[in-house]
Amino acid sequence: MIWPPVGGALEERLRAGDRLTLIIAPFVKVDALRRLDDCGDGLRGSSIVARWREADLIAGVSDAEAFPFIRDRGGALYVHREIHLKLFVFESGSALSTSANVTGRGLGFVSPGNIEAGNWVDLGMTDWERIYALLEESRRVGETELQKALDYVQLNSRPQSPLPALDLFMASKEMTIAALPAVSSPNRLIDLCLGAARAESPEEARMKIHDVVLYHLEACVTREQLLEQIADRFKNSPFVSAFVAFLRSRGQLRFGEANDWIYHNCEDVPLPYRWEIKSNTRVLYDWLAYFFQEIAWHRPRHSQVISWRN
133 shares its domain with 20:
yes
> Minimal CA–CA distance to 98: which of 203, 209, 8?
8
CATH number at residue 38: 3.30.870.10
Residues 186 and 151 in one domain: no
Amino acid of residue 208: K
Looking at the fold, whether 20 and 144 belong to one and the same domain comes out as yes
> Is 166 a domain residue?
no
Residue 83 φ/ψ region, left for φ over 0, alpha for ψ in the -120 to 50 degree band, beta for the rest: beta
Model pTM? 0.76
- Per-residue pLDDT tens digits of the chain, which is 310 residues long: 999 999 999 999 999 999 999 999 999 999 999 999 999 888 998 999 999 999 999 999 999 999 999 999 988 899 999 999 999 999 888 999 999 999 999 999 999 999 999 999 998 878 888 888 898 889 889 898 999 999 999 999 876 778 889 888 766 666 777 778 999 999 999 999 998 999 998 889 888 988 988 888 887 788 999 999 999 999 998 889 999 999 999 999 998 898 888 877 777 666 555 556 677 788 999 999 999 999 998 876 667 899 998 7
Q: Tell me whether residue 1 is in a domain.
A: no
Number of structural domains (the chain) is 2
Domain for residue 28, yes or no?
A: yes
Domain end residue (candidates: 95, 125, 155): 155
66 and 108 co-located in one domain: yes
Regarding whether 19 and 115 lie in a shared domain, the answer is: yes
- Shared domain for 262 and 122, answered yes or no, is no
Structural domain including 103 reads 6-155
Q: Are residues 138 and 208 in the same domain?
A: no
Element (H, E) at 225: helix 223-235
